[in-house]
């Protein structure tokens, strides 16, 4: 029996659809949202977090984004995911610039790291 997708996960897929068709899958008690096989967002604690990296983190912070932080073995662990601005949750058009940043971070994470010569 396949469990139905959570309404908030479906809404998040609709919001992020400007960067391509999105798929929501159960992941660690929340949801992972991907497009073209790349994870661009997660939903945890009923909150949407979009993929970031060190190059884009300052933009997320400037927009008031909160990082995805969880506790493991008594330590706070931070993943490269941030909340989008609240107004971006209102429409796909307002989410589009943030969805593009998340997709850029996912594409960059997929590329092989450059090897440095010694």
pLDDT (tens digit per residue) in 35-94: 999 999 999 999 999 999 999 999 999 999 999 999 888 999 999 999 999 999 999 999
- For residue 5, pLDDT over 90 is answered with no
20 burial (CB, 10 Å; 0-12 / 13-18 / 19+) is middle
- Chain mean position to CA 61: 15
Q: Kindly report the pTM of this predicted structure.
A: 0.88
Residue 114 confidence class, pLDDT cut points 50, 70, 90: low
| Residue-by-residue DSSP string for 61-88 | HHTT--EEEEEETTEEEEEEEEPPPGGG
The secondary structure of residue 91, as a DSSP letter, is: -
Residue 29 confidence class, pLDDT cut points 50, 70, 90: confident
60 burial (CB, 10 Å; 0-12 / 13-18 / 19+) is buried
What was the pLDDT predicted at 58? Answer: 93
What was the pLDDT predicted at 117? Answer: 61
- For residue 1, pLDDT over 60 is answered with no
- For residue 3, pLDDT over 70 is answered with no
């Amino acid at each position: 029996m396949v469990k139905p997708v959570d309404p908030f996960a479906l809404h998040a897929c609709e919001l992020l659809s400007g960067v391509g068709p999105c798929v929501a899958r159960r992941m660690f008690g929340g949801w992972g949202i991907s497009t073209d096989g790349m994870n661009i967002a997660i939903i945890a604690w009923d909150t949407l977090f979009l993929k970031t990296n060190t190059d884009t983190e300052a933009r997320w912070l400037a927009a008031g984004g909160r990082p995805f932080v969880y506790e493991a073995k008594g330590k706070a662990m931070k993943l490269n995911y941030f909340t989008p601005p609240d107004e971006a949750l209102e429409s796909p058009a307002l989410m589009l610039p943030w969805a593009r940043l998340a997709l850029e971070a996912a594409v960059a994470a997929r590329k092989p790291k450059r090897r440095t010569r010694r």
